[in-house]
Structure 1
């Protein structure tokens, strides 16, 4: 069955090297497995050049027929595995960077302690990918970004954003009282994975606003935005939990708090399956358990 898994992985990634990394094999071993299967079948499954790997017509037909059958076999194996007292195997999760930070300590590390036969591969990625095509068991993203055909499990409380600046910045600029005042400020802006610049969202008493705050600095990572704000480069708009310690310690000052209501938070999501893998089911159970603890937040 390993040769079939190799072919599916190469087809999914379009690369022998990427498939090898996915499967924990060497690129040479992946190449030998594909070549051996091609020799037995008497057809070429992949067209190879120095720069690309793509399915041949025969390979596309083969993968179309084999992939569902292989998925059923793997599901059957997972069903048997679900009867074990302790799950075993690898759980692959693709996440936003903030989502990975949110679950690493309270969930992932406890999960590995609780289930020593499991391995977790948590990949932090700015891109919103197709987790099925990329071979992940689950993803972590904001609720509004999750495809509608996925099952979503909330990771805890709603998400509240905060507008913050350093005391040094406010020594040179007046504090904004309403969102419209931001036009006279320097914003530390965020580049989104789709290429757009994030517009800061506000709401109060039924009035909603989204503002493209002016500013010469655009970043794409929350830690960099936080560092820039601490250095007095301007105001930034980040999740409340990211800036909480800096605000509590007086290194940042929060403004417009009455204009930033809670928003839907992060969710773990996964495709609907007839048999949920035992490792993923245990991970979901732990998320729910952590969320019910006093002060708990996945």
Structure 2
């Protein structure tokens, strides 16, 4: 049977007044210290004594002293009250300037292409902020995990989150190494992929992600097979560079190996474009100074980042991509 409980009210009421009187051994000086009248201090202490159930002060016309109960109350109340004051100051400090621990949940793929160039400069610009990056391709609950914000592809961000664009829309590209393409005929259509070794991604929910494409105005998902299944795009990309098979990866990740000739881009007319990468955090709450500093630093450092605006939005769903 559920029991009825009530929250104790006013447990700290009068403690500050008591401590001030105990320090000054005077109601008048305590009143001056707290900026109230002596009668107000006297009334507050009487209410505290009534609640405690014991007299805390010995009062005469000339002096104020502590009773034995007052001495014991002082020995416990003073350090506890000082800790509360210190806790308030620490919390206030975190709310007023960029400081403390900034925890971000980030897909592994995003770390090298988006964060690595910026973390060093951010840490130098804001030395009082510690940055913790939890690289995971799972869609983690920010509140339950104790994260300040997350970074994800736009289509996987819930509508009740505030999203800040970090990267513009980009295509998912199919890539293969020159060595692989010397051994296999270059695919010219989506159906041609069924004759190829296709490296695939296992989603965080355990399923194998199909490869998404667009054919004209029609969305197409290709169910393929191949010698390797990985849990992140970086592994797929590395395997493609080594000639293990073809991979479908975010174009920013493949940009460098395509540019230096280690990979070739394939089936580009059928490439599907995703909304881009966003930093997101729960809506309806004040942005902490450390998170605001990170957002503004990123916008300043990235010439292609939009200068506005933090907007809440729902991105279109893309069923074929990994939920990272």
Task: Normalising by structure 1, report the TM-score.
Answer: 0.68
1:119 aligns with 2:133: no
1:216 aligned residue (201, 210, 227):
227
Contact 1:106/1:290 (8 A) holds in 2: no
Per the alignment, residue 11 of structure 1 pairs with none
Per the alignment, residue 113 of structure 2 pairs with 102
Per the alignment, residue 233 of structure 1 pairs with 244
Per the alignment, residue 271 of structure 2 pairs with 260
Q: Per-residue CA shift, 1:231-257, capped at 9, x if unaligned?
A: 221111111122222212222111101
Per the alignment, residue 216 of structure 2 pairs with 205
Q: Provide the rounded CA distance (Å) in 2 between the counterparts of 1:273 and 1:230.
A: 45
Q: Provide the rounded CA distance (Å) in 2 between the counterparts of 1:250 and 1:89.
A: 43
Contact 2:167/2:277 (8 A) holds in 1: yes
Query: By how many angstroms is 1:145 displaced?
Result: 1.1
Structure 2 SS opposite 1:163: strand
Query: By how many angstroms is 1:290 displaced?
Result: 2.7
Per the alignment, residue 302 of structure 2 pairs with 291
* Stretches of 4+ aligned residues off by more than 3 angstroms: 74-84, 291-294
Structure 1 SS opposite 2:302: helix
Give me the CA root mean square deviation.
Answer: 2.5
Contact 2:113/2:252 (8 A) holds in 1: no
Per the alignment, residue 150 of structure 1 pairs with 161
Q: Provide the rounded CA distance (Å) in 1 between the counterparts of 2:209 and 2:92.
A: 43
1:180 aligns with 2:185: no
Q: Per-residue CA shift, 1:4-47, capped at 9, x if unaligned?
A: xxxxxxxxxxxxxxxxxxxxxxxxxxxxxxxxxxxxxxxxxxxx
Per the alignment, residue 164 of structure 1 pairs with 175
Q: Per-residue CA shift, 1:124-179, capped at 9, x if unaligned?
A: 01221101011111011111111222111111211221111111211121111111
Contact 1:78/1:277 (8 A) holds in 2: no
2:142 aligned residue (113, 127, 131):
131
Query: By how many angstroms is 1:105 displaced?
Result: 2.6
Query: By how many angstroms is 1:186 displaced?
Result: 1.1
Deviates more, 1:106-115 or 1:75-84: 75-84
Q: Provide the rounded CA distance (Å) in 2 between the counterparts of 1:215 and 1:142.
A: 25
Query: By how many angstroms is 1:75 displaced?
Result: 10
Query: By how many angstroms is 1:116 displaced?
Result: 0.8
Query: By how many angstroms is 1:214 displaced?
Result: 1.8
How many correspondences in the alignment? 222
Superposition pairs of residues 75-94 of structure 1, within 5 angstroms: 81-84=94-97, 87-94=98-105
Query: By how many angstroms is 1:76 displaced?
Result: 9.5
Per the alignment, residue 55 of structure 2 pairs with none
Per the alignment, residue 278 of structure 1 pairs with 289
For residues 83 and 232 of structure 1, do their structure 2 counterparts lie closer, same or farther at Cα, with a shift above 3 Å needed?
Answer: closer
Q: Per-residue CA shift, 1:226-281, capped at 9, x if unaligned?
A: 22212221111111122222212222111101111421111111112442111011
In the alignment, structure 1 segments of 5+ residues that lack a partner are 1-73
Deviates more, 1:115-124 or 1:166-175: 166-175
Contact 1:91/1:121 (8 A) holds in 2: yes
Q: Provide the rounded CA distance (Å) in 2 between the counterparts of 1:75 and 1:216.
A: 57
Per the alignment, residue 65 of structure 1 pairs with none
